Amino acid sequence: MPTLQDLLSTMDYGPSPESQKEAIAWLDQHQRRFGLFIQNTWTDGHDTFATNNPADGQELAQLTQASVQEVDQAVQAARAAQPAWEALGGHGRAKVLYALARLLQKHARLFAVLETLDNGKTIRETRDVDLPLAARHFYYHAGWAQLQADEFAAYRAVGVVGQIVPWNFPLLMLAWKIAPALAAGNTVVFKPAEFTSLTALLFAEMCQRAGVPPGVVNIVTGDGRVGEAIVNHPDINKLAFTGSTEVGRLIRKATAGSGKKLSLELGGKSPFIVFEDADLDAAVEGLVDSIWFNQGQVCCAGSRLLVQESVQTRFLAKVKARMDKLRVGSPLDKSMDMGSLVDPVQLQRITGLVESARAEGCEIWQAPCEIPPHGSWYPPTLITGASSSAVVAQAEIFGPVLVAMSFRTPVEAVQLANNTVYGLAACVWSESISLALDVAPQLKAGVVWINTANQFDAACGFGGYRESGFGREGGREGMLEYLIPLAEDARPAAPLLAKLGQGGAVPHSASELGAIDRTAKMYIGGKQARPDGAYSRPIYGADGALLTEVGEGNRKDIRNAVEAAHKASGWAHATAHNRAQVLYYIAENLSARADEFAARLAAMTGAKDSAREVQASIERLFYYAAWADKYDGLAHQPPMHGITVALNEPLGVIGIVCPTEAPLLGFVSLVAPALALGNRVVAVPSEAHPLSATDLYQVLDTSDLPGGALNIVTGSADELARVLAAHSDVDAMWRHDGSAAGCAEVERLSAESLKRTWVSGGRGRDWYDIGQSAGRTVLAHASQVKNIWIPYGV
């Protein structure tokens, strides 16, 4: 008689297929041919293309390739509907969003099966992950709509939003984007991925049932030409894109100078860090969820395994044993762990990258899975022996491929983890919460999971750093992506020039100011430095007389300033209290020399209220000193058994081109918030009136500001802005000197490294007005949110 062990060893999974009957009936109901969804009606299907089931290659339906004219019709419908939708009020919008959430739940199985047929991911994932999260986003944002009048009273809707999503999470990405856009009062032109549009079209029917007014949601299908038409449409106010870094870079260039608000959620090469004290079995399960979930077609997949050397052999043996048990097969079979890749093109790319690693001498280990004969399939794959600079260790493979490397110390782990152009997500596994919480803030990633992986919730923002894009989806910060401060509407159309005339402080005469040669140098690394090019430029007063000369900064001066800023990384790690004290000290020392600075301002600009500008600058320093230790993050309580800590982190090194108007106040209003939050700054002061900034050198020297935290380079705003915007080691770029062409150039050049930008767009700003030039909006530009997920009892 066989023993129990014998019976268990022979047990295998039986087939557990999910019925596709209802999904097929829905397709047949539409004769498997779909038009576009514009103004709550369907256009006739024309110029169609096939959408196929990637698991077997069979055609599911014919979709319409939208034309440029049809995209324009959708935008016009959205524009016409937007005022009434916003005027409906928070409660009215909340009811509609709530109805959408309920409809997603009522038809969850139909959505899940249709998603699996169209995308190739397993029914377990669409049923248990995608649909609950999609409904959660509509519920959550119904709440924000209800609370908008209280919580976002100082904001308005952006207007018409264009949204473009990829094929890996078709319905979930739709929910991430459409829910906050509608909650804020915007209308939408939505483009699903060419390969996976069916659940978006089913969602369009839910919009009709939920009472979404005509024109509020418009869905246009097609290839990249449709996305290009949306990006380039002049009547779209904001673009939200999820996809590849290459396309994101093109969108940033295409929208430069357009004034469109932009959020980009792009690629990733996320580290999965396992320390020697980790629960190795739990970490293996987390790794399965991180890299083999959705066949690895996840932007935040933990595709780089970094395991401490002392446990590497043991851990990799456990990983291989677990890979042996992964089942690859029909996505509609509920017993399968992995489905098919989305398209043969994706299969070809993954295969090519793995074979290139093999050619480089890496060891390739693949799970012995039974691969179906038809469709796009790839087995779970482990690559070892790759150098940190190898293509497979740097490129986003976007498939079920894990690259493993080892480290010895936590410092080395952080260095390896950050050795990438991306910065989307990371996992840290350790039984020492002290070690995990020490490492997590050091990782250049927008999301860090501790002893868990791939956790998402509508209340917790998601998004990346560096070439993983900018902007956040979910949470309060995700709502702000779809809102505009009302103070922006009050900004003047052009910079406000100083009012000429006498009064207030009496300027020194040009001859008096020029009696002793005081040619201002650069301020780099806490020291005055001569310009590299040994050129100077004259600075004239309001009466046309020569006041003095300042250094003509060039590319090398910017390089030196950026290097000094990076060496001053300790400023980012200083306590908020310490940074506040330094800003207070700067204000104190500026106050002691207020008359001198007022006189200099009057001589430069001819302003009759220069003393007011100095006093406002002192107050602005106090203002941001006050904020330094009060701009706190949040602690979210998602459905997971744990908390998510949302930290406001500094961006890093910010290049700032300061305004010509109010040269002292404008300089302080931009530099102070950046410093308050721990950024280091390379500032280009007013090209015409730089002396207020150069006169600050001695104030800074006596105010305990570390060398390199603030660097000042004088010269041509255009030339220096170009260098800063193109510099790969500058993390963000601000330009507020009133040059529309210059602002567009900054946005265009920043696309190469996808740094964040904040520009004036050629408009002016009342630097005395707190609403226009200070507050949380400015602090948000000076920071980025990192969400650290911390489970309980793990």
Q: Report the catalytic residues.
A: 265, 299
d(CA 500, CA 504): 12
Q: Cα–Cα distance between 174 and 168 in angstroms, integer?
A: 11
Interatomic CA distance for residues 34 and 42, integer angstroms: 8
Cβ atoms 326, 285 nearer than 8 A:
no
CB 594 within 8 A of CB 612: no
DSSP 467: G
Beta pairing, strands 304-308 & 271-274:
parallel
Tokens encoding 705: 């500001």
DSSP H helices, 524-575, are 555-567, 570-573
Side-chain-side CA neighbours of 292 within 13 Å: the count stands at 26
For residue 621, give the H/E element and its range.
Answer: helix 610-628
Token digits for 264?
């980009």
Q: Which of 179, 213, 174 is nearest to 80 (CA)?
A: 213
Amino acid at 628: A
Contact (CB, 8 A) for 324 and 290: no
What are the phi and psi torsion angles at 589 (to 5°)?
A: -70, -30
Quote the CA–CA distance of 411 and 416 in Å, as a whole number: 9
CA distance 755 to 374: 43
Residue-by-residue DSSP string for 92-109 = HHHHHHHHHHHHHHHTHH
DSSP secondary structure code for residue 19 in this structure: P
Phi and psi of 539, rounded to 5°? -120, 120
The phi and psi torsions of 683 (rounded to 5 degrees) equal -105, 135
DSSP SS3 for 526:
coil
Within 13 Å and on the Cβ side, how many CA atoms surround 64? Answer: 20
